[in-house]
A = this chain, B = another copy of it.
């Protein structure tokens, strides 16, 4: 029987699974004690440590028929590492709680592990530990840690009237890719059938599966003196709303500064959607949005998109659009 050829996590048991995972990882210099004990020990040379956690639940945050194990690992790591750089810190490690059905293929779990490992490697971080539990669906509890390197953390509260609002990284790509998947344009795990899919469509769906956060720009923004910063995870307008609220200011965005990439315009035309909607309210690309004192010379990766003003909330010039985005209980 072919079914017997697939090794399942239930065949290996908890400790066998842990051994398989640990064997695929290597530990960076900042991991003083890695997996296998009650806890990991990480270097925290700054004397402060940045920590953030996210829970990802199958069917809510990912689908195993839309994304490979590898992609899911990459994305789950990315969204946490992005929160660390959004404080202006350098990520050092993640720890991962894995809830897995007993019939999960070990090969899928290995791909997931490789995804975590490879995404961490992009920023010099390690998978330093974790926990395994049996679950009816796949659940990922990811916690990322980082070091501030002597810099003050860049919070959401420091924006001041007169500051420039700028973004680094992609906006709208992942939302367009998700809309393509939801519209039935490519349901295969890895790629849509090439013959029927434009390259742009593949790129957008890949953007949904594996975001490309603007990792280097987080610590860079801190060094440039950013007054506020956050990771865009729920949509640009909604997330900038958090800066407006925390800092007690208003933000005015210039829509002309947010050009719609050609591949997003094409996908919107195909699906009859509004491309600006994806750019302004789509999450999951993990761009960084920050405010900088007027006059700061921004490196080319940063795009100025507006201004901080006295007032409250986020306005898009010439539009009556209100902030939208994703609320996990009402969305």
Contact = CB atoms under 8 A, between A and B. Distances in A.
A67 B15 CA distance: 28
A39 B139 contact: no
Contact of A47 (B43, B54, B130, B148): B43
Contact of A49 (B44, B327, B329): B44
B135 A60 contact: yes
Given A102-B329, A156-B37, A139 B43 contact: no
Copies in the complex: 2
Contacts of A57: 99, 133-135, 139
A297 interface: no
Contacts of A89: 39
Contacts of A129: 51-53
Nearest to A55: B97
A40 B51 contact: yes
Interface string A293-315: 00000000000000000000000
A143 interface: yes
A145 interface: yes
Interface string A32-53: 1100111111111111111111
B145 A41 contact: no
* Interface range on chain A (Cβ under 8 Å from partner): 35 or more
Given A131-B55, A143-B143, A41 B153 contact: yes
Interface stretch (A80-88, A161-169, A188-196, A316-324): A80-88
Interface in A3-24: 9-10, 12-15, 17
Given A13-B327, A329-B10, A42 B51 contact: yes
Interface string A71-105: 00000000000011011010001011111001000
B14 A329 contact: yes
Contact of A328 (B42, B133, B146, B153): B133
A230 B60 CA distance: 36
A148 B329 contact: no
A28 interface: no
Contact of A36 (B43, B102, B229, B246): B246
A12 B329 CA distance: 8
Given A56-B133, A57-B99, A60-B133, 17 more contacts: A10-B329, A13-B329, A14-B329, A33-B155, A37-B87, A37-B155, A38-B86, A38-B87, A38-B229, A39-B86, A45-B47, A51-B51, A53-B95, A57-B134, A57-B135, A61-B133, A102-B329
16 contacts: A13-B330, A14-B330, A15-B327, A40-B52, A41-B49, A41-B87, A43-B47, A51-B95, A51-B143, A52-B95, A53-B97, A55-B97, A55-B135, A57-B99, A61-B133, A95-B143
